[in-house]
Structure 1
Amino acid sequence: MTQTITRTSPTPVPETSGRRDRLTQGPDVLFCYGTLQFDAVLEALLGRIPERTPASAPGYRAAALAGRVYPGLVRAFDSSAAGELLTDLSYKEWEILDAFEDLRYELREVALSTGKLGWAYVWPGGDVRPEDWDAEEFQAQHLTEYAARCARLAPSLAAGLPKGE
């Protein structure tokens, strides 16, 4: 049986910074496996909580990264990364999230447990620890400070400035 996937992605806008515009790929739904699963982070960055549905990415894991409190999605053929799909992002919200994500992440389409495809920020390698990222530990030890940092970054991201400027 062949599955048809229909895309209703927004029209990309021209690149305005020196970095490659990852959104020219026309992403429609975002698979979140790390910090973007937390309401406080989404609210701080976007000013709202987008619609979400549970999903997982077979063949991947949310790996702990050396020196970072957030994870990276990496290939792991015997695993499945649990997460959520953000299904109603506006193009402006995609721009904000794309600017927020580390430039080392690659925006890729991944197969999901739902039988559909979704876009995810995949970590290309390096700095990957052998253990999986611990969402409960992040929530208990880092979420408050991380969400506050996101809130401080949000105005610049919304203005189209890359993270760190």
Structure 2
Amino acid sequence: MPDLFVYGTLRFPEVLDALLGRVPELSPARAEGWRAAALPGRVYPGLVAAPGTADGLLISGLGADEFALLHAYEDAEYEVVEIRLTDGRPALAYRWLHEALDEDWDPERFAAQVLDAYVPGCAAWRTEYHVR
């Protein structure tokens, strides 16, 4: 399976563990021509084409079932696109399909203010996903 560039909540090992039941291999990555935009009324970001560079992580070693779970989690508000990272590697990424704010999403603020409350919701979503 291709590697997945993550720039928002999926860059946090706690979120990945809650969703996947494990933390796959993660390595730093950057994508030029993109930014992780803050979204109106949401605690998570959306990847939008824009001048600049989006910082994130590259997830390697996902299985097909894990990709399917992450695709369901990201839902129809995103589409999977292939991007090229600043080091030339190709990767898949979730591109946001709707309105975004002019400001960038702040992962440090998310970690400090939202992450602890966000993770249990991810675990609950995974349980519901597996019940279907």
Contact 1:52 1:86 in 2 (8 A): yes
Structure with greater contact order relative to length (CA < 8 Å, sep ≥ 6): 2
Output the TM-score relative to the length of structure 1: 0.77
Q: State how 1:16-165 maps to structure 2 within 5 Å.
A: 28-77=2-51, 79-126=52-99, 128-159=100-131, 161=132
Query: Could you tell me how far 1:158 is from its partner in structure 2?
Result: 3.4
Output the TM-score relative to the length of structure 2: 0.95
Amino acid at match of 2:9: T
Greater share of helix: 2
The alignment's C-alpha RMSD in Å is: 1.1
Contact 1:96 1:158 in 2 (8 A): no
| 1:77-100 Cα distance to aligned partner (Å, 9 max, x none) | 2x1000011010011111111110
Contact 2:29 2:58 in 1 (8 A): yes
Gaps of 5+ in 2: none
Q: Share of identical aligned residues, percent?
A: 48
| 1:94-113 Cα distance to aligned partner (Å, 9 max, x none) | 11111100311010001111
Q: State the distance in 2 between where 1:118 and 1:101 align.
A: 17
Paired residue total: 132
Runs of 4+ in 1 over 4 A off after TM superposition: none
